């Protein structure tokens, strides 16, 4: 399966690896790989060498959905909603979100054998992928008030500046980044949240107040939590605005009451790559690894 790992996606984003270069010269071409971020729903999202299995998975859609739902209920005690099914080299990648709290986005892979049989019995995912995404959702519950501070700030920021985030459909159909919003997502590392994950798996009905109470005796290392803020210019044919980026960066640096973590800040132009859902290009403005904004 040629699914790009979450860490690789983040690394590519922060290091600014050029995917296809700028899009100003491409937009007039019929084979333009980009689309306005306001128009992007993620339905065009593709994985390498997945066209054949994409068709097989779609023809067996109900089997894929029921198998995925059963897998999450059995292994993770979690009810999920299937948002998108995308063929890959060896099967289909199924993008889901949890129903209720903790809220998170993740994926699993359902194999398709050489006889074109969809095999729910063989569903798998990358090591600690789902576990980390659950932890991301729990992290957001633990820091609910601080998450609300970040949400309120970003909601106001996009009202005051000509920038936008992703459409809800876009990240629902393409994201496996744990707690995810139109403007940012949260990735957790290490094992600091393992006790909270164990609590969830033993009792998925655990109230957020229990996690919050438990966290009062915990210290959260910013290096174990990466909050990636990513915005897009609102207008077509506009380069990422340095002044807007500088203001966003400075605001995050000086703000109190934000969730503890290592913050990345990214500002793209208006276009997103249709087939891989990336907005980063050689004109993207960004700050991240190794120069994160650290919030204790």
Mean pLDDT of 90-119: 97
Lowest-pLDDT choice from 50-54, 216-220, 270-274: 216-220
Q: Is the pLDDT of residue 40 over 70?
A: yes
Query: Which comes out higher in pLDDT, residue 193 or 31?
Result: 193
Letter string b/e over residues 255-271, b meaning 16 or more CB atoms within 10 A of that residue's CB: eeebbbbbbbbbbbbbb
Structure-model confidence comparison of residues 25 and 100, the more confident one:
100
Q: Running DSSP on this structure, what letter comes out for residue 224? A: G
- Work out the pLDDT band at 1, boundaries 50, 70, 90: very low
Q: Band the pLDDT of 217: cuts 50, 70, 90.
A: confident
Tokens of residue 1, six digits: 């399966």
Tell me the DSSP string of 77-112. ---EEEEEEEE-SSEEEEEEEESSSS--EEEEEEEB
Q: Is the pLDDT of residue 17 over 90?
A: no
Is residue 49 left, alpha or beta, with left meaning phi > 0 and alpha meaning psi from -120 to 50? left
Is the CA virtual torsion 110, 111, 112, 117 positive or negative?
negative
Q: What is the pLDDT of residue 13?
A: 43
Residue pLDDT, tens place only, 163-212: 999 999 999 999 999 999 999 999 999 999 999 999 999 999 999 999 99
Preceding peptide of 290 cis, ω within 30°: yes
pLDDT of residue 25: 41
Residues 80-102 have pLDDT tens digits of 999 999 999 999 999 999 999 99
Burial tier of 193 (Cβ tally within 10 Å: 0-12, 13-18, 19+): buried
**Strand pairing category for 271-273 and 261-268:** unpaired
């Amino acid at each position: 399966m040629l699914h790009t790992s979450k860490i690789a996606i983040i690394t590519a984003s922060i290091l600014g690896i050029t995917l296809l270069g700028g899009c100003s010269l491409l937009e007039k071409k019929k084979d333009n790989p980009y689309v306005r971020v306001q128009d992007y729903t993620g339905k065009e999202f593709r994985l390498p060498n997945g066209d054949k299995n994409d068709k097989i998975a779609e023809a067996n859609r109900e089997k894929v959905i029921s198998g995925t739902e059963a897998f999450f209920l059995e292994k993770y005690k979690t009810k999920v909603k299937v948002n998108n099914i995308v063929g890959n080299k060896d099967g289909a990648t199924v993008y889901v979100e949890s129903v209720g709290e903790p809220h998170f986005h993740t994926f699993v892979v359902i194999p398709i054998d050489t006889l074109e049989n969809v095999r729910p019995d063989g569903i798998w995912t990358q090591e600690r992928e789902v576990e980390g995404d659950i932890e991301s959702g729990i992290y957001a519950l633990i820091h609910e008030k601080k998450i609300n501070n970040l949400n309120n700030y970003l909601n106001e920021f996009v009202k005051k500046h000509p920038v936008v985030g992703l459409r809800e459909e876009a990240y629902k159909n393409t994201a496996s980044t744990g707690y995810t919003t139109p403007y940012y997502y949260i990735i957790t590392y290490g094992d600091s949240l393992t006790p909270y994950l164990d609590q969830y798996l033993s009792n998925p009905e655990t109230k957020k107040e229990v996690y919050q109470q438990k966290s009062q005796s915990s210290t959260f290392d910013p290096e174990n939590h990466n909050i990636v803020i990513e915005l897009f210019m609102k207008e077509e044919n506009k380069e990422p605005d340095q002044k807007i980026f500088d203001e966003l960066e400075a605001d995050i640096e000086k703000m109190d009451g934000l969730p503890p973590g290592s913050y990345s800040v990214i500002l793209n132009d208006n276009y997103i790559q249709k087939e891989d859902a990336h907005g980063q290009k050689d004109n993207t403005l960004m700050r991240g690894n190794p120069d994160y904004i650290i919030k204790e």
